[in-house]
Amino acid sequence: MITVEVAFALPQEQKIISLQVEQDCTAHDAVIKSGIVTLFPQIDPDNAPMGVFGKAIRDPKEYVMREGDRIEIYRPLIADPKEARAKRAAKMKAQKAAGQD
């Protein structure tokens, strides 16, 4: 048996669940065994993007957990970071242009 953690966060609430799993447990299996889906029903463990310590994993059903791993379940982004950056740049450019007139 190994000890791993499963983590999920919302803006107003977060939860990290520590659990013991078999040596060959996958990230997907750890999420199911943790019971975190009962606390956060919006989690779809079959489709939710996941990572280990901030590094995305391609297939949670294939990734075998290691002692001390923390599987993180990611939420969808609210805004595209590239789009948000472009909007800020455009706003700054417009403010600069308005100040030079």
Provide the pLDDT confidence category of residue 82 given band limits of 50, 70 and 90.
confident
In 3D space, the residue among 21, 15, 17, 27 whose CA is nearest the CA of residue 57 turns out to be 27
Provide the pLDDT confidence category of residue 78 given band limits of 50, 70 and 90.
low
Measured in whole angstroms, the distance separating CA 19 from the mean position of its chain's CA atoms is 18
Quick one: which H or E segment has residue 100?
helix 81-100
Task: Provide the CATH topology of domain 2-100.
Answer: Ubiquitin-like (UB roll) (3.10.20)
Q: Residue 90: what pLDDT? A: 85
For 48, phi then psi, to 5°, come to: -65, 135
Q: Residue 94: what pLDDT? A: 83
Contact assessment for residue 61 and residue 28, using Cβ atoms and an 8 Å cutoff? yes
Q: Residue 84: what pLDDT? A: 76
pLDDT exceeds cutoff 70 at 77: no
